[in-house]
Structures are given as structure tokens and as C-alpha cells.
């Protein structure tokens, strides 16, 4: 039985432990989840990685529209009245330009599946979490962008009343924007997430739909998407406009290229410890085999 959430999506409301057990069972081939439940994709199960505790992943957040403080986001996001129905404008180089409800987009991009991904913030902390979502290429294929469309740009929801940091940081070029090259957007790893730990995305993690690009620094994974635009030119992004020397358009995880203010060679595991475990950062966040080919003609030191 699929659970209907506030947004009418077929998320399963099972606990993280059950998600984990179900994934194990699925991989052992001994049991299948109910036909209508969101199936874990065994190809993206990361069975050697330890899942981050859900309490940590949903309370230590970067969502600057709400607050600059990691712990300040959740209390504000919990008061946020997430618009329902959620509308996303599809625009730019496509004949499928119009406003879509979230359900319509999931209908086009689905079926939903669960994937466990490593997630690495540019600030050198990382987590491993199970996202529910659909691969973005499935949606793009249905929206049929024109040949001239070389990039996909995304915009976040912005509401000054409920997101107090928008006004507190007037020099930020709000709303939050991000973008991908078309081949990056079409890569099978690129996910549009609607859930986390088998539940609908909480506000603080980018409800009701956010991008997840696991081989790039976390800031590329834009939250609470309200606009998707196909364009011929490389789109502007919030971080790139604010601090171009620090945040490039590509933002591929790369231990060999330091951030101007800190090394990217290692990362703190988000484990709640006073002295968090430190691990070596992997090139493309461990997805090198899958994505290195996208950048074979690019100098990654210049195109950081
Ligand atoms: N709209 C919006 N999206 C955003 C951000 C933000 O401030 N606003 N922060 C980014 C950064 S820096 C990171 S690390 C991730 C954090 O996602 P999480 O809170 O789900 O871990 O969201 C990214 N997406
Ligand atoms: Mo980040």
C-alpha cells in the first residue's frame, strides 16, 4: 500500500531501520517490497558505507534562506507553510513550457526509487543518506529540450516572510540559483529527490523536491526547486556570483584542488562526535568511474 503524503506522493513511511533491512533483503533477493512501495535501487545501495543518523542529516543543514546557522534552519523550516499544490515552472528552450504541479513532474520523471549516496559539502563535512527520487534524465527526456539547450538552470523557492535570512543578507543575489551542463543533468546519477530516509523531504532538507548531484559539492544540490529552465548559455548561480574565486560553476568534489580558504583533501564525517571521524576525500566524491568521462577535456584546476 502506497502512503499518500501531504503532496500526494507515493512515499513509504517506513523507519530508517526498516529501510535498511528492506534494502538488505532486496539485495539478498529473498524478499521484494510491496509492489507499490518505493524500491531501493540495489545499484546505488553503497553497502559498505555507514548511513548517517537521520537526526543529524535533518538538523545540521545549510539552507541559507532560513539561517546561516546549521542548527537554526530546522526550527524555522518547521514553521514554513510549504505551498500546496507545489508548482514548478518549466521554461526556456522547450515546447513543454508551463507550470507543473509536483505530482505532474513526479508522474513524468518517476517511478521513484531509493538511492544511498555519499554527500560532500564544500565546507569539508560529509554524510551518507538514502534519498527517494527519480533520475533527472527521465524528466528531461519527457520535456524534450531543444537541440540548442546546453544547460539546465534551477531556482529555489524564496519567501522573505518565512525565510528571514533573505532580508538579513540583502547582498546575496536571491533567489538561490544553480545549474548543470546538459550532459551532467542527463547523467544517470543525477537525482531529483522528494524524500529522505523513506519519508517526504523535510523542509530543512529542501521540501518538497530538490536536486542531488552526488559527485559535486553540496551547494550544487539546490533545494525546494520552483523553476527549471533549459538554456543555451551557462546559467548564473548564486554562489558563483557572490564569490567566483571560491565557488566555480563545476564544483566537482576534488581533493587535489583546495578551496582558497581551506584544504579539500579530507572531510569530517557527520557523526555527531565532538571530534568527528576524518576520512580522505575521494575524487568526484567516489563516483570517478561513473563521471570522470564527462570532464576528460577539461582542466579541473581551472574549472573548479
Ligand atoms: N536553496 C538552497 N539550496 C541549497 C542550499 C541553500 O542554502 N539554499 N545549501 C546548499 C548546501 S551548501 C548544501 S551542503 C546542501 C545541504 O543539504 P542538506 O541540508 O540536505 O544536507 O544544500 C545545498 N542546497
Ligand atoms: Mo555545502
Can you give the pLDDT at residue 23? 47
- Burial class of residue 304 in the structure, from the number of CB atoms within 10 Å of its CB (0-12 exposed, 13-18 middle, 19+ buried): buried
The pLDDT tens digits of the residues spanning 79-102 come to 999 999 999 999 999 999 999 999
Which CATH architecture group holds 11-295? Alpha-Beta Complex (3.90)
227 alpha carbon, closest ligand: 1
Residue 25 pLDDT exceeds 80: no
CA of 223 relative to ligand 1 center, distance in Å: 6
The residue whose CA has the least distance to atom 19 of ligand 1 is 61
What pLDDT is stored for residue 4 in this prediction? Answer: 30
Q: Residue range 140-148: average pLDDT?
A: 98
pLDDT score at 33? 31
Q: Residue 213 above 50 pLDDT?
A: yes
Report the percentage of the chain scoring pLDDT > 70: 88
- By most ligand atoms within 8 Å of CB, the mutation choice from 130, 193, 219, 269 for ligand 1 is 219
Ligand 1: does its nearest atom lie under 6 Å from the Cβ of 267? no
Residue 91 Cα to ligand 2 middle (Å): 27
Q: Which of 203, 206, 239, 267 most suits a substitution to test ligand 1, by most atoms within 8 Å of the C-beta?
A: 206
pTM metric for this prediction: 0.89
pLDDT in tens, 149-166: 999 999 999 999 999 999
Convert the pLDDT of each residue in 266-295 to its tens digit.
Answer: 999 999 999 999 999 999 999 999 999 999
The CA distance from 181 to 60, in Å, is 29
- 49 pLDDT higher than 90: no
Mean pLDDT of the chain: 90
Measuring CA to CA, how many Å separate 99 from each of 8, 46, 77, 90, 134? Answer: 17, 36, 24, 6, 19
pLDDT digits (tens, 9 = 90+) for 66-81: 999 999 999 999 999 9
**Tens digit of each residue's pLDDT (9 = 90 or more) over 124-141:** 999 999 999 999 999 999
- Model confidence at 16, pLDDT cuts 50, 70, 90, reads very low
Amino acid at each position: 500500500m502506497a502512503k499518500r503524503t501531504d503532496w500526494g506522493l507515493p512515499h513509504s513511511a517506513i523507519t530508517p531501520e526498516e529501510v535498511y533491512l528492506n534494502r538488505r533483503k532486496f539485495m539478498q533477493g529473498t524478499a521484494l517490497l510491496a509492489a507499490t512501495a518505493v524500491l531501493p535501487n540495489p545499484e546505488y545501495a553503497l553497502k559498505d558505507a555507514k548511513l548517517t543518523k537521520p537526526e543529524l542529516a535533518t538538523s545540521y543543514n545549510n539552507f541559507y534562506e532560513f539561517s546561516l546557522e546549521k542548527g537554526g534552519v530546522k526550527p524555522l523550516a518547521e514553521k514554513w507553510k510549504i505551498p500546496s499544490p507545489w508548482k514548478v515552472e518549466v521554461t526556456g528552450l522547450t515546447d513543454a513550457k508551463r507550470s507543473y504541479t509536483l505530482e505532474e513532474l513526479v508522474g513524468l520523471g518517476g517511478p521513484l526509487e531509493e538511492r544511498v549516496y555519499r554527500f560532500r559539502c564544500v565546507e569539508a563535512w560529509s554524510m551518507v543518506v538514502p534519498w527517494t527520487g527519480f533520475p533527472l534524465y527521465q524528466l528531461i527526456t519527457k520535456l524534450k529540450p531543444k537541440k540548442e539547450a546546453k544547460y539546465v538552470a534551477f531556482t529555489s523557492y524564496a519567501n522573505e516572510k518565512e525565510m528571514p535570512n533573505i532580508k538579513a543578507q540583502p547582498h546575496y543575489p536571491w533567489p538561490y540559483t544553480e545549474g548543470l551542463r546538459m550532459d551532467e543533468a542527463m547523467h544517470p546519477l543525477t537525482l531529483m529527490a522528494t524524500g529522505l530516509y523513506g519519508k517526504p523531504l523535510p523542509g530543512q532538507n529542501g521540501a518538497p523536491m530538490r536536486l542531488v548531484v552526488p559527485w559535486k559539492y553540496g551547494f550544487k544540490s539546490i533545494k525546494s526547486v520552483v523553476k527549471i529552465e533549459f538554456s543555451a548559455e551557462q546559467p548564473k548561480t548564486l554562489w558563483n556570483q557572490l564569490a567566483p574565486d571560491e565557488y566555480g560553476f563545476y564544483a566537482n568534489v576534488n581533493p587535489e584542488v583546495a578551496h582558497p580558504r581551506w584544504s579539500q583533501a579530507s572531510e569530517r564525517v557527520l557523526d555527531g562526535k565532538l571530534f568527528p571521524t576524518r576520512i580522505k576525500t575521494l575524487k568526484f566524491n567516489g563516483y570517478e568511474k561513473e563521471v570522470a568521462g564527462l570532464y576528460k577535456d577539461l582542466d579541473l584546476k581551472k574549472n573548479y
